[in-house]
Structure 1
Amino acid sequence: MSNIENFFESYLFGLSLPDMKVTDLIEIILIAFVIYEIMLWVKNTRAWMLFKGIIFLMVFILFASIFEMNIILWIASKTINVGIIAVIIIFQPELRKALEQLGRKNILTSLFPIDAQRNGDERFSDKTVNEITRAVFEMGSVRTGALIVIERDISLMDYENTGIAVDSIISSQLLINIFEHNTPLHDGAVIVRGNRVAAATCYLPLSDNMGLSKDLGTRHRAGIGISEVSDSMTIIVSEETGKVSIAMGGELTRNVDAEFLRSKLYALQNKSIEGGRFRKTKGRVKNEKKVNS
């Protein structure tokens, strides 16, 4: 009994909480949030397997330290600097993607109003919405494959330079003629900027997401790939089935109908008020299927 009393007197009663300020509490919350976001990012990317490999090496070095394996510790100490650089090189694609996603967060755009004037302008007209929708579903009805990328805030100039400049007003006839089989411009993607077709036959990055369905072809993977590295919206028409899909933010929504596509285009139009009233669009999806990246 006396031993228990001595334990409480020596350890528990001697404990005292440190003086906490409001800034200390905020700092703890911020650090916990950052650690959580980093862990979530690592888990949702290919970096998870690499991260587990690094943990294994750290456990191996700890094991060598406990049993005083001096040669292994000497090798580890000499290679740690090179190892840090190697980790940065290995994680380069994931780090770049994470920084791009961080730059697209609303919290940054609210603190630093970049492109504020551009965001306040209407991106494209109602006529453009109707012309794109008409062209997409006319091509789908005859199973003509198409890949249309609609630029938003992030410039697609690098991908536009891989194609052929068009710089023409959007019309359904123009889009249908571009993607017609055996025509010079049908292969590749069309990039739309505002009310104009900026370029055709553009090359897009393919998504390397291993979780995508195996029945998705190159056209769908390219549509998802460009949505992973930009804030664009990509419209994909399947050549095999004629079905229309939409890729945004690394997610693919499959088998959409005309009303749903039109509502998505209206949402991107950046025109919240029309005729004194807020625009309201209702879209429905037939057999909608979303594929996450």
Structure 2
Amino acid sequence: MTEFLQWAAYYAASVVTNISISDIADIAIIAYIIYHIMSLVRRSRAVQVAKAILLILLALVVSYYAELRVVQFLLSRAVEGGILALIIVFQPEIRRFLEQLGSSRLGDVFGREEAPPDVEKAITETVKAYTSMSKDKVGALMVFERKVPLDDIIKSGTALDSTVSAELLKNLFWNKAPLHDGAVIVRNGHIVGAGCVLPLSGNVNLSRDLGMRHRAGIGVSENSDAVVAIVSEETGSISVAENGMLKRHLAPETLERLLQNALMPENEPGRPSKLSNIFRPKKGVKDDGEKVHRE
């Protein structure tokens, strides 16, 4: 046992002494890519396909050692032709990953990202308006753009250029206003579009009590990194959609906290940068909402 420990210590020391800066950079890049792929798969319906792929690979290994030649032949051919099938199945996830990769900046990983000064005011005014509209059961749908541009969605409505205020939002979503049926798009704390048409969610496992407003909010969060705040016209309940998931029945305080976590800079003084988060799991955030996961 002593000899084994000495050998293990000697082997570990030799490995450490041979590690160069390029090796560390190589490991960090691969870890970063794997982390984002796993995060993307975990929060999407692709997780079911990933489980099926693992089962097929496990069956292939078992058939190899059990000398099941016919089963091994069929599974190996299925794996060889599965790359194209994976590209087709994961097309929405691959598209979103490339959009996020193309719109990201180096400072998002290594440094602190400064939020525009109007974002905090926009959050405060939104919470104030949503508190009032929730009591009066006025339907509302607001999309907060982040890194993925929503220019095509903005073109589907009426272009605006205004700061966010509770009075303006209540007027836009008033049930007799011409733009109340569409979505309001907010970019860097400014309203840039109203009456905009959003893509509906393709998730067939959503609850049947969700109306078109909620399905549209989930849909745009599936196709971008936007955060969507919703007020139900039927019940007055407040919801937030992000990454294809819906958090329902939120209190105004919870809405404010969710919007701040999503839109305000993550790296406050004293907090670790995003690079350090690659090597540790994220902690879940408790809230008053009910999550509807994409199956």
In the superposition, the TM-score normalised over structure 2's length comes to 0.64
Residue 93 of structure 1: how far off its partner (Å) = 1.5
Work out the CA distance in 2 between the residues paired with 1:80 and 1:130: 52
1:187-206 alignment, distance < 5 Å: 187-206=181-200
Cα 1:194–1:47 change in 2 (3 A) is: closer
Residue 242 of structure 1: how far off its partner (Å) = 0.9
Identify the residue that residue 90 of structure 2 maps to in structure 1. Answer: 91
Question: Contact 1:122/1:269 (CA < 8 Å) preserved in 2?
Answer: no
Structure 1 residues 41-50 or 198-207, which shifts more? 41-50
Aligned length: 259
SS at match of 1:149: strand
CA RMSD of aligned residues (A): 4.6
Q: Does 1:122 align with 2:117?
A: yes
Residue 236 of structure 1: how far off its partner (Å) = 0.7
Listed as ranges, the gaps of 5+ residues in structure 1 are 1-14, 274-286
Question: Contact 1:191/1:197 (CA < 8 Å) preserved in 2?
Answer: yes
Work out the CA distance in 2 between the residues paired with 1:218 and 1:28: 45
1:121-140 alignment, distance < 5 Å: 121-124=116-119, 126=121, 128-140=122-134
Identify the residue that residue 175 of structure 2 maps to in structure 1. Answer: 181
Question: Contact 1:124/1:195 (CA < 8 Å) preserved in 2?
Answer: yes
Identify the residue that residue 4 of structure 1 maps to in structure 2. Answer: none
In the superposition, the TM-score normalised over structure 1's length comes to 0.64
> Percent identity at matched positions?
38
Query: Once the two structures are superposed, what CA deviation does each residue of 1:39-61 show, in whole Å capped at 9, x if it has no partner?
Result: 67545533344345445655469
Greater RCO, 1 or 2 (C-alpha within 8 Å, sep 6+): 2
Q: Does 1:245 align with 2:272?
A: no
Cα 1:33–1:173 change in 2 (3 A) is: closer
1:64-75 alignment, distance < 5 Å: 66=67, 68-69=69-70, 73=73
Cα 1:254–1:167 change in 2 (3 A) is: same
Work out the CA distance in 2 between the residues paired with 1:87 and 1:143: 44
Identify the residue that residue 273 of structure 2 maps to in structure 1. Answer: none
Work out the CA distance in 1 between the residues paired with 2:160 and 2:28: 51
Residue 82 of structure 1: how far off its partner (Å) = 4.9
Work out the CA distance in 2 between the residues paired with 1:188 and 1:36: 36
1:89-238 alignment, distance < 5 Å: 89-99=88-98, 109-111=108-110, 119=114, 121-124=116-119, 126=121, 128-209=122-203, 212-238=206-232
Specify the structure having the higher radius of gyration (Cα).
1
SS at match of 1:192: strand
1:45-60 alignment, distance < 5 Å: 45-54=44-53, 59=59
Listed as ranges, the gaps of 5+ residues in structure 2 are 1-7, 269-286
SS at match of 2:149: coil
